[in-house]
């Protein structure tokens, strides 16, 4: 089965398992709404790509790792969109959870997604408890303090922020978890794969900053110009458009160079470059149209 379809199936399986009939219906609806239809599912795809490059032997564990990372990503979007942070009305082209439901359900929806992520890991790694422990370590670290995405978001509550530390925690951490979890799900040492995820996470954050200045809401499904509006640190603000584009290219090069030796090293590097090329073309097109 193609990776994208497999990921959707695994996500649907997790939702069905947890949002059963005896779940409060509005909570169930809010969680489904936050997760499906999704965005590019870039983190779970990356996780599956690394697992494949490592010749993973157990697809259930890989699926569990990929789904858990996507659920944590969705949780962070729902909570970051809340009025106390971004106060965003639109996400993935539709009203944010607190607009479509209410603030209470958005709060609980994010909480539920975090818990579900760990439950999915525990259930999926059932046949291999020692892999469960490695996955829990990798995934937990990427979300929690001191360096995970929650800490990344918390930098917005600090008076002075180092752009690199902020972006590394806010975006890089979950990308690093995606590559590390892909390896851990295959029973390989995770840490060798950290660099690839971190670089791709940085690249993704730079791309997101670029989209924020040159995209339109209709192109990217969420309001643009938010970094300037909220006075948030941004690669474009720091480096200019061309500087940020050049930084993006360097990060993709570094990412590909960092891929550890494994049976699927070359196909994985080609996949990363193909996705990056698509993204760069899209950014140049949007910039030209702006």
Q: Within 13 Å, how many C-alpha atoms sit on residue 221's CB side? A: 11
Query: Should residue 150 be labelled a site residue for a copy of itself when binding is judged by CB under 8 A?
Result: yes
Residue among 3 and 226 whose Cβ is closer to a copy of itself: 226
Residues between 204 and 243 that touch a copy of itself (CB under 8 A): none
Residue among 7 and 169 whose Cβ is closer to a copy of itself: 169
Residue 245 token pair: 């584009």
Site track for a copy of itself across 6-25, x = CB under 8 A: ------------xxxxxxxx
Give residue for tokens 């089965």: 1
Residues between 75 and 94 that touch a copy of itself (CB under 8 A): 75, 79, 82, 84-85
Give residue for tokens 């009203």: 95
Query: Should residue 175 be labelled a site residue for a copy of itself when binding is judged by CB under 8 A?
Result: no
The distance from CA 129 to its chain's CA centroid, rounded to whole angstroms, is 25
Query: Should residue 99 be labelled a site residue for a copy of itself when binding is judged by CB under 8 A?
Result: no
Number of residues that bind a copy of itself (CB under 8 A): 58
Q: Within 13 Å, how many C-alpha atoms sit on residue 68's CB side? A: 32
Residue 183, classified by CB atoms within 10 Å of its CB into exposed (0-12), middle (13-18) or buried (19+), is: buried
3-state helix, strand, coil in the chain (%, to 5): 75, 0, 25
Q: Which positions touch a copy of itself (CB under 8 A)?
A: 18-28, 31, 75, 79, 82, 84-85, 102-105, 107-108, 110-112, 114-116, 118-119, 121-123, 125-126, 129-130, 132-133, 136-137, 140-141, 143-148, 150-151, 153-158
């Amino acid at each position: 089965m193609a990776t994208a379809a497999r990921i959707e199936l695994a996500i649907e399986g997790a939702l069905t398992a947890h949002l059963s009939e005896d779940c409060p219906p509005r909570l169930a609806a809010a969680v489904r709404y936050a997760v499906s239809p999704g965005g590019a599912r870039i983190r779970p795809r990356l996780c599956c790509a690394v697992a494949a490059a490592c010749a993973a032997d157990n697809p259930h564990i890989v699926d569990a790792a990929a789904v858990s990372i996507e659920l944590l990503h969705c949780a962070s979007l729902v909570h970051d969109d809340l009025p106390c942070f971004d106060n965003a009305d639109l996400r993935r082209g539709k009203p944010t959870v607190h607009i479509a439901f209410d603030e209470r359900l958005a709060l609980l929806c994010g909480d539920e997604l975090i818990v579900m992520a760990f439950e999915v890991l525990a259930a999926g790694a059932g046949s291999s408890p020692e892999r469960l422990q490695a996955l829990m370590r990798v995934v937990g670290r990427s979300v929690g303090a001191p360096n995970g995405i929650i800490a990344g978001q918390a930098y917005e509550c600090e008076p002075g922020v180092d752009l690199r530390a902020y972006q590394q925690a806010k975006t890089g951490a979950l990308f690093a978890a995606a590559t590390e979890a892909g390896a851990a799900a295959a029973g390989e040492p995770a840490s060798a794969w950290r660099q690839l995820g971190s670089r791709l996470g940085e690249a993704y954050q730079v791309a997101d900053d670029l989209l924020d200045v040159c995209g339109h809401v209709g192109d990217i499904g969420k309001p643009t110009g938010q970094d300037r509006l909220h006075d948030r640190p941004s690669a474009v603000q720091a480096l200019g458009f061309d500087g940020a584009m050049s930084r993006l290219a360097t990060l993709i090069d570094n990412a590909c160079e960092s891929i550890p030796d494994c049976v699927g090293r070359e196909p994985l590097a080609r996949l990363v470059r193909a996705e990056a090329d698509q993204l760069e073309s899209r950014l140049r097109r949007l910039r030209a149209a702006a």
